[in-house]
Structures are given as C-alpha cells and as structure tokens.
Amino acid sequence: MIFLLTLTALLTSAGKLGDLYGLKKIYVLGLLMFVAGSALCGASFGIGSLIVFRIVQACGSAMTASTSPALAAVVAMPGERGRAMGWIGTAVAVGLSAGPPLGGILLSIGSWRWIFLISFPLGIFAVAGALAFLPGRSGSRDRSGFDLTGSVLMGLALAAILLGSSYGRTWGWGSWKVSLLLIGGGILLVAFIFQEKRAESPVMPFMLFKNRVFSSAVWSAALLYCATIGISFLVVFYLTYGLGLGGLELGLVMAVQPLGSAVSAPFSGRASDKIGSRPLVVAGTMMVTLAMISMWITCDIKSIWSIAVPLAFIGLGFGAFGSPNSSAILGAAPRELLGVAGGVLATARTLGMAVGVAIAGVVFGNSFASATGGLEIGNYKARMFAALVHGFRNALVVAVIISIGAVVLALLRGRDNVRGRGRDGGKESVQGDLSAKMIPDDEDSICEPPEPCG
C-alpha cells in the first residue's frame, strides 16, 4: 500500500517536473531511482527499511509513468502518436501477463529478494537505452518555479482519499479513521484547488479541463479502469472459490485479459492516427460493457470458459480504448504540458483502479454476507456457490453502470484533430500561453509555427 500511496501522490507533480526541466532528464532519473530502490529492497534488513526503500522505488516509478507517454508523443513520427501509444499499451499488457508467472518462478527457485533484485539488471539496460536513444530536450522556457505547496496539498489529498477508500471495508465505512481520511482528503483537495488558481506555475493547470476532448478522455479512462479492475479483482475470488482453480490455472485465465489488450492496442492506436479517437474509444467502451453483461449472464455456469471468454473481450475492448484515448489526451495538451497530461492520465488510472476495487469489494461483500447470514468469503463452502454468483452479479451490475458512463463520455467528447505530429524539433510547436487562450474543443492543442494556437 505504501508504494501505491506514494505513486499516486507524486504522478502529476513528477510530470510537471518533466515539463519544467526536460522529460528525458526526469525519466532517466526516475529509472535510476527505481533501480536503486529495487536493489535496496532486495538487500533490506527489516520491514522498516523495506518500507523506506519501497518509497524510493515508488518515487522513481512516478517519474517514469508520467513522462513515458509524453516522451513517446514527442519522438513519434508525424501522424503516428496513436501508434506509439498502442505499442506502449502492448508493452504494459505483456508485462502484466508475464509479471505474476515470473514472480512465481523466482519465488520457487529462490528468495523473495529476487523479485526486487531482478529489476536491477533490467533497469540498468533500460537506463542505457534511454540515454542512447531518447532525444534530449530542454524543459519549459517559463521556469517561474515549481509549486511545492500545491504539490504537497495534492499528494496528501490523493493519499488520504486513496487510503480511506482502500480500507473502508476493513475498518468500516462509518469508522472515525475512514471518515477522517475521506473528509480530510476532501478539505485538502479544496485547498489544493484554491492554491492552483493563484499559483504562478500551477502543478495542475485546470484550464486543460476546459478542453472537452481532454476532460472527457481523462474521466472516461478513470471510469473504465474503475469498472474493469474491480471486476478483475472479484474474478480471482470467483475462480478460486467457485471453480476451485489452483495457482497455475488461475494465472492462465487471468492472463487472457491483458493478452487481449496486447493484441488490439497497436491496431487501435494506429487506426486513431487516421480516423481520430472517438469511434475507436466508443467501440472499445461498448465492447467492455457488453463483455461484462455476457459475464453476468454466464457466471452461474461452472465453467472456465464462462469467465475466460468475456475476460478476453474485456481485454480486447480495453486495448481498443486505451491507446486512442491516451493519444487524445496528449494531443489535447500543449507541448509544454505533456508531462502534466501524462501524470493526469496515470493518476486517473491509479485512482480509478483503487476506487473500483473498493466499490466491487463493498457490493460483493455485502451481497454475499446477506445471502449467507453474515459470512465472509473466507468461510466459503461449495454449497454457497449461488451466494457467490449473487454477489458477483450485483458487482457486475454496478460495473456495467460505471462502464456505460464511460460510453456516454466517449460519445460526447469533441472531435480530436488527426493532423501530422512531429518529432522533437519537428512540425509541432509549443502553445504560447495556455491561460491567454484555450483551444476549441474540436481543435488540437498543437499547432504549426508561426501562427498562434486557436
């Protein structure tokens, strides 16, 4: 949890640092911190040191997660930003598929320390590749200062809200701890908004959200992650308790979803360069929604295929959605705020996942308890399969409703421009003054010099 809290708190701020001082610099620094943190975690000498080193690792991860999509957008050939986002989506999906089995293998042949130590040589290789192949680029011409106050307020607010929502069921949603975290997080969030409105160089320029493409793409991403990750979380319980799958079988079934995303992401990303993001994002969100409806219909059948097939289509739909949506977010941001845009996207993803798991857990847990006389899923017996299905279906209903919200936002978003994009130093130019003039909803925020945007 400490890793997730630190990561979520720093994502947007790390992106802002990339915009100010150079995306490559922050990306490479993030890789070095992640590598160092991983090595230190592997060599940790107690739980206290492990927590500290995980914080170091999370700081590095925040830097790379927020700047990597922005870097991809900068170095992409003209007209190929969506394609670049597609290959990033494929790489992430392959990593999600390969990570758990690789971790299991390392645990079976060695110590838990190897899970961290294996990152060291891989990280050094990544650092060398970044230094050799990524183009260097100076940061923003306007270095009026980093809004440290705003960064701290946002980090504390997000961490409090995330912690409260994650432990709501464990501590009780009416408990003083959860109430303090959620109310305190809300107060800090309001304070952050006031701070950003008067900051000379805000961490989060709220004018970005006046662009309908940007705002709808961010919110639809948060909603779709909320819907799908919550269900993926419950699928593990369904397969483990309901179908009695072991570790290997469980891993193979769960790998179906990210593999589906890996297949569709590059094709969808490339198509978005030609036809824009909206039709692909609408198709992706609708596929995810229909797949969850089919899972609701078939989940009372005790068969792996009743879950695996819908999972595959959820993955395909999410891949079709993800790369065009990411491309639209980056295309709707001015060049000097690409790091912030990447950080906002990563924050929406992380918060959506956390809230989705919390909602799914509450709905499923309460439904299962009501059907079994107050029992928890840990007390599951074979005769309780109907109660398991009841809870799973109720959670699916909520997920479908959330997913429909993502469909609506996809339908209502403005038309994103699919004009050619340039490499660093190429055709794209920086929007001069975001506060002076926002781009219309149907225009891209990156324009050719010497004409001003708008």
pLDDT digits (tens, 9 = 90+) for 57-67: 999 999 999 89
Is residue 141 assigned to a domain?
no
424 falls within a domain: no
Does 442 reside within a domain?
Answer: no
Q: Residues 415, 219: contact at Cβ < 8 Å?
A: no
Asked if 51 and 170 sit in the same domain, the reply is no
Instruction: Please check whether residues 75 and 208 belong to one and the same domain.
Output: yes
Examine residue 381 and state whether it is found in any structural domain, yes or no.
yes
- Residue 388 pLDDT grade (very low, low, confident, very high; cuts 50, 70, 90): very high
Give yes or no: residues 110 and 18 share one domain: yes
Same domain as 249, residue 125? yes
Number of domains in the chain: 2
Please write the tens of the pLDDT for every residue from 109-119.
Answer: 777 788 888 88
Q: Do 185 and 171 reside in the same domain of the chain?
A: yes
Given a contact cutoff of 8 angstroms between Cβ atoms, the answer to whether 78 and 422 are in contact is yes
Q: Same structural domain for residues 169 and 26?
A: no
Residues 172, 128 share a domain: no
Residues 123 and 230 reside in one and the same domain: yes
Please compute the mean of the pLDDT values over residues 371-396 and round it to a whole number. 90
Q: How many CA atoms lie within 13 A of 297 on its CB side?
A: 8
Mean pLDDT of 287-299: 95
Nearest to 81 by CA among 446, 439, 344, 407: 446
Q: What pLDDT sits at residue 169?
A: 75
Residue 193 falls in which region: left (phi positive, over 0), alpha (psi -120 to 50) or beta: alpha
pLDDT computed for residue 421 by the predictor? 44
Q: What ranges in 211-255 are assigned the alpha helix state H?
A: 212-237, 247-254
Q: How far is CA 145 from CA 19, 28, 140, 258, 344, in A?
A: 12, 21, 11, 40, 20
Residue 284 lies in a domain: yes
Q: Let me know if residue 29 belongs to a domain.
A: yes
b/e burial code for range 34-43 (CB count within 10 A of at least 16 → b): bbbbbbbbbe
Q: Which domain holds residue 247?
A: 2-135+203-412
271: in domain:
yes
In this prediction, residue 137 carries a pLDDT of: 62
| The predicted structure's pLDDT at residue 164 | 87
Residue with the two structure tokens 């050719």: 448
**CATH code, domain carrying 376:** 1.20.1250.20
- Claim to verify: residue 276 and residue 402 sit in the same structural domain: yes
**Do residues 129 and 102 both lie within one domain?**
yes
Report the residue count for the chain.
454
pTM of the model: 0.83
Domain annotation covers residue 446: no
Closest CA to 263 of 337, 211, 322: 322
Q: 404: how many CB neighbours lie within 10 A of its CB?
A: 15
Instruction: Note whether 355 and 279 are same-domain residues.
Output: yes
- Nearest residue to 245 via CA among 235, 231, 233: 235
Is the same domain home to 188 and 207? no
Q: What is the pLDDT of residues 162-204, one digit of tens each?
A: 888 888 777 888 888 989 999 999 999 999 999 988 888 888 8
